[in-house]
């Protein structure tokens, strides 16, 4: 995950993107977020609440949660979007094999029992939603 010193504090790229999109400055999503060869894994943990002395956190993914606002900015400025795709079953299996990712997606999808079928369905619908909203002429799909 990329980190950098910004405003005299350590931050994660996802927080920088979120601040640019929600800050009302009409900045590009990656404005002042640093210079990197690859932008990936932009999620970050956010403490939601404290329950019985235990911190309950979630993972924010601004590239997913703010996709409409990011897309609107990009479309307005003539940006091409890149969507990477893998086989939905391969992706689902990788999530099922990783305890932390399994927990993150179980929480995000609000399910008590996660299955590879639920994950594959989520992946497929998310990809279709991104393509539909951004538009085929403004997106490049890499497989």
Cβ burial, residue 66 (10 Å; 0-12/13-18/19+): buried
Chain centroid offset of residue 138 CA? 19
Q: Is the pLDDT of residue 113 over 80?
A: yes
pLDDT at 5: 44
Phi then psi dihedrals of residue 78, to 5 deg: 70, 30
* Assessment of whether the complete model's pTM goes beyond 0.85: no
pLDDT at 6: 42
Q: Which tens digit of pLDDT belongs to each residue from 37-61? A: 555 656 666 766 777 777 666 677 7
Q: Which tens digit of pLDDT belongs to each residue from 6-35? A: 444 445 677 788 888 887 777 888 788 776
CA distance 42 to 63: 7
Q: What's the chain's average pLDDT? A: 79
14 vs 105, which has greater pLDDT? 105
pLDDT at 16: 80
Give percent of the chain above pLDDT 70: 78
């Amino acid at each position: 995950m990329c980190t950098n010193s910004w405003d005299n504090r350590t931050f994660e790229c996802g927080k920088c993107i979120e601040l640019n999109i929600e800050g009302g400055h009409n900045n590009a999503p990656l404005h002042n977020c640093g210079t990197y060869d690859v932008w990936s894994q932009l999620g970050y943990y956010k403490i939601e609440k404290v329950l019985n002395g235990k911190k309950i956190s979630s993972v924010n993914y601004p590239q997913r949660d703010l996709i409409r606002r990011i897309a609107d900015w990009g479309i307005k400025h003539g940006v091409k979007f890149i969507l990477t795709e893998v086989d939905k079953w391969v992706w689902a299996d990788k999530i099922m094999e990783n305890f932390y990712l399994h927990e993150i997606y179980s929480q995000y999808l609000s399910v008590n029992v996660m299955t590879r079928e639920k994950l594959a369905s989520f992946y497929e619908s998310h990809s279709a939603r991104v393509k539909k909203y951004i538009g085929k002429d403004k997106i490049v799909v890499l497989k």
